[in-house]
Amino acid sequence: MTSSDINQVLSRFIARNDRKGKYAYFRTNVPEVAPYAYLNILFEPVGDGVIQRVEKELGPIPEPLLQFYRQHNGALLLSSSIRINGLLPANVMMDRADPFSRVPFDVRNLAAYRSGTHFPFASYGALGEIVLLERVTGEVTAVDADSRKVIRTWPSFQQWLTGELERIASMYEDDGRYAGPPDGTSPRFAAGAESTTKRGARGKSKRPS
């Protein structure tokens, strides 16, 4: 999925106090939530040196995700409904006195969820589900953060991101206010999900191997 694809989905939201921060682009201020709350935060592209350093620790990054990082080094989308972790350079930290110095969540923080050829790279804000990308097939899987059982799968990174952005964006007003049901942004409530109940529900599918 290209940056233009993301922008197309997000373009219907009002450009309110949009600005460039130290490491990211902040789009659609939602002051009803907090003075510096933004609906979408898209981080700047990552450099080759950072990619090489992280790959030494985690192994090869799946190509679809690598292509995304070359456009956005992580993202906080739709009020953190979707959180795509990024590749942090050494010694980069957020200046908490400056809300526009925000850095992405570190993809290495999800390393505990690695399983076989599945690479964890994102999470959902509503109920904390973890998202993994299968290195060989390119399939994307959302799993319960506690049981690690499969909730929903998508054939590719692009289909996951496009489909979930469109689904979740439909729950927001044009000014960025949420108008959907409680926890509606969770993949448990997406068509084809294994479990559509509250957190802690256990689907019948197996863990990714």
Instruction: Write down the pLDDT at residue 67.
Output: 95
Look at residue 183 in the predicted model and tell me its pLDDT: 95
Instruction: Name which CATH class applies to 3-91+99-189.
Output: alpha beta
- Comparing C-alpha atoms, which of 63, 57, 24 is closest to residue 40? 24
Nearest to 190 by CA among 117, 140, 136, 146: 140
Q: What is the pLDDT along the chain (209 residues), one digit of tens a residue?
A: 667 788 888 999 999 999 999 999 999 999 999 999 999 999 999 999 999 999 999 999 999 999 999 999 999 999 999 999 999 987 777 788 899 999 999 999 999 999 899 999 999 999 999 999 999 999 999 999 999 999 999 999 999 999 999 999 999 999 999 999 999 999 999 877 874 444 443 333 456 75
Sheet of 38-43, strand order: 19-20, 24-29, 38-43, 75-77, 82-84, 118-124, 130-134, 140-143, 150-154
How many whole angstroms separate alpha carbon 165 and alpha carbon 168?
A: 5
Q: Which structure tokens are listed for 65?
A: 């995700």
Q: Report the predicted TM-score, pTM, of the whole model to 2 decimal places.
A: 0.90
* Residue ranges per structural domain of the chain: 3-91+99-189
Residue 204: per-residue pLDDT: 39
